[in-house]
Amino acid sequence: MEKLTLLYEGKGKKLYTTNDANRVIAEFKDDLTAFNAHKKGSEAGKGSLNCQISSILFKLLEKNNIKTHFVEMLDCYNMLCKKVKIIPLEVVVRNIATGSLTKRLGIKDGEKLKFPLVEFYYKNDLLNDPILNDEHCKIINIVDNDKDINYIKDYARKINDILISFFMEKNLKLVDFKIEFGRDENNEIILSDEISPDSCRLWDKDTNKKMDKDIFRQSLGNVSDAYKEVLNRIK
């Protein structure tokens, strides 16, 4: 399968059409951005690590009956995916309070939440990805009905359960993560985008060392060594 034309370029990936109308190739970029791209950087090999980590996690989820857009990894930077229409929602699941949640609600950083918290943010850079409740989603026609909203929330919780135990076996705490969903050719909602240390927070189980993009957000050093360690632990 070969890349034909560039369909879309996001902060972390480029999407290309292929000669199959229902397949796209996602090329993972080495670029790093944070705070709605106000902070920018790049590390050689970062994209390749995320492509490999994401592929392992999508395969794990597929094995656990989660439908995803993943078809196969073509090489270290390129993933063949089903073509979907992305739902402009960032679905965040949180197990431990940190990041924007601690700032918004004053919860102590590192506090384990009573239950996994599912949040929606509007994927819209111009508006700075505002947080949304279920009614906002319906008012701005992101999701038309409660059935789809509940489906997405339930799916996000199932994904969280699978990932928590998988990472725990690898001595990693899944603190929180962001996922995106899309509609496939049959209009079915399936997991899309990526799951990588760019979109998750992962802490070492014993030391709480950060092994994710917070290293870049907080200028704590290079991300590549941490992402390599994540890959080595999960593969």
Verify binding: residue 99, ligand TMP, rule CB under 6 A: yes
The span from the CA of 36 to the CA of 46, in Å, is 19
Stretch that binds ligand ASP, among 35-43, 52-60, 74-82, 131-139 (CB under 6 A): 35-43
DSSP 166-205: HHHHTTEEEEEEEEEEEE-TTS-EEEES--STTTEEEEET
Nearer CB in complex with ligand TMP: 22/218 = 218
Rg (CA), the chain: 17
Verify binding: residue 35, ligand ASP, rule CB under 6 A: yes
Q: Which of residues 20-49 bind ligand TMP (CB under 6 A)?
A: none
Among 70, 177, 216, 227, binds ligand TMP (CB under 6 A): 177
Among 13, 15, 33, 163, binds ligand ASP (CB under 6 A): 33
Verify binding: residue 100, ligand TMP, rule CB under 6 A: yes
Nearer CB in complex with ligand ASP: 35/115 = 35
Nearer CB in complex with ligand TMP: 18/176 = 176
Query: Nearest residue by C-beta to ligand ASP?
Result: 33
Q: How far is CA 128 from CA 90, 119, 200, in A?
A: 12, 15, 19
Whether the CB-CB separation of 197 and 230 falls below 8 Å is answered with yes
Q: At 128, list the tokens.
A: 């700075």
Verify binding: residue 115, ligand ASP, rule CB under 6 A: no
Angle of CA points 91, 125, 142, to nearest 5°: 50
Among 1, 34, 56, 162, binds ligand ASP (CB under 6 A): 34
Among 25, 84, 89, 92, binds ligand TMP (CB under 6 A): 92
- Per-residue binder mask for ligand TMP (CB under 6 A), 191-210, x = binder: --------xxx---------
Query: How many of the chain's residues bind ligand TMP (CB under 6 A)?
Result: 11
Whether the CB-CB separation of 179 and 199 falls below 8 Å is answered with yes
Nearer CB in complex with ligand ASP: 59/217 = 217
Verify binding: residue 59, ligand ASP, rule CB under 6 A: no
Whether the CB-CB separation of 86 and 74 falls below 8 Å is answered with no
Q: How far is CA 218 from CA 77, 183, 184, 212, in A?
A: 26, 34, 36, 11
Q: Which of 150, 91, 90 is nearest to 123 (CA)?
A: 90
Which residues of this chain interact with ligand TMP, rule CB under 6 A? 92, 99-101, 129, 176-178, 199-201
Which residues of this chain interact with ligand ASP, rule CB under 6 A? 11, 33-37, 213, 217
